[in-house]
């Protein structure tokens, strides 16, 4: 083989190796968070939904002890393997002197039965989501909660995907809570980067306010996008995996694992 031909082949092989390495690094960046989630035992992917824990975690005040209006939002790891990558979010309301909470959420499997996926029903607001304990995202009480509860109920009614659910990239349960947050910016609700679907904007929009109401975002059907806001920081959405820097909280956010920092 002539020297010139050999050099071209060596250059081609070297280029291919560099491409493979770059692809490996990209895949590693995407998977490091989910791998850490599994390694830390945050998700039990083998549990059966029929006997998974759905008990109250006693985070919310009991209605008999709290007469004021209450709004609380929660996130918990999604059921089964989905919890490696994402959380499920919901919001609960209790009016002043109310005897129970109303939990507002989207339940995806109802679509299989051709039922409305948006559900508003009386329930404990802080129950585990099929074996995964919830994390509180918001807690608003008193007069402010009384003012915002009707707005939340109106936003629930105007959600445009009442019978539609798509696991990825949306609309899903997190798209629903993001819709409520955008419609009621006074909630100042920052959703975790692991709330896959939060960037799926309503009715084909490409630009909208962030769920926290403190900035703006561009999103291409929840698959690619960019967010800049006081609460969310700088977020880059690649295939619904969010990478973010939050300078105010001195933290970074990675796919799967979410926030790392203070």
pTM beyond 0.85: the answer is yes
pLDDT at 48: 82
The partner residues of 140 in beta bridges, in order of sequence, read 71
pLDDT over 90 for what percent of the chain? 74
Min mean pLDDT across 18-22, 46-50, 118-122, 213-217 is at 18-22
Residues 16-22 have a mean pLDDT of 69
């Amino acid at each position: 083989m002539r020297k010139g031909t050999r050099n071209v082949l060596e250059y081609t092989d070297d280029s291919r190796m560099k491409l493979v390495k770059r692809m490996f690094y990209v895949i590693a960046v995407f998977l490091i968070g989910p791998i850490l989630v599994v390694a830390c035992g945050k998700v039990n992917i083998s549990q059966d939904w029929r006997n998974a824990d759905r008990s109250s975690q006693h985070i919310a005040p009991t209605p008999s002890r709290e007469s004021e209006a209450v709004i609380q939002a929660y996130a918990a790891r999604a059921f089964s393997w989905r919890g490696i990558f994402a959380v499920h979010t919901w919001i609960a309301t209790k009016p002043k002197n109310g005897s129970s909470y109303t939990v507002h959420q989207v339940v995806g499997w109802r679509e299989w039965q051709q039922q409305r996926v948006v559900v508003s029903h009386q329930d404990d607001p802080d129950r585990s989501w099929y074996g995964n304990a919830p994390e509180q995202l918001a807690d608003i009480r008193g007069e402010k909660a009384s003012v915002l509860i009707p707005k939340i109920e109106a936003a629930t009614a105007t959600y445009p995907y009442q019978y539609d659910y798509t696991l990825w990239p949306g609309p899903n349960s997190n798209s629903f809570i993001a819709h409520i947050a955008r419609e009621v910016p006074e909630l100042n609700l920052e959703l975790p980067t692991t709330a896959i679907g939060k960037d799926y904007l309503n009715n084909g929009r490409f630009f909208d306010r962030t769920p926290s109401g403190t900035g703006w975002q561009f999103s291409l059907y929840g698959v690619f996008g960019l967010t800049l806001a006081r609460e969310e920081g700088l977020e880059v959405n690649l295939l619904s995996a969010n990478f973010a820097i939050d300078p105010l909280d001195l933290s970074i956010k990675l796919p799967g694992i979410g926030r790392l920092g203070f």
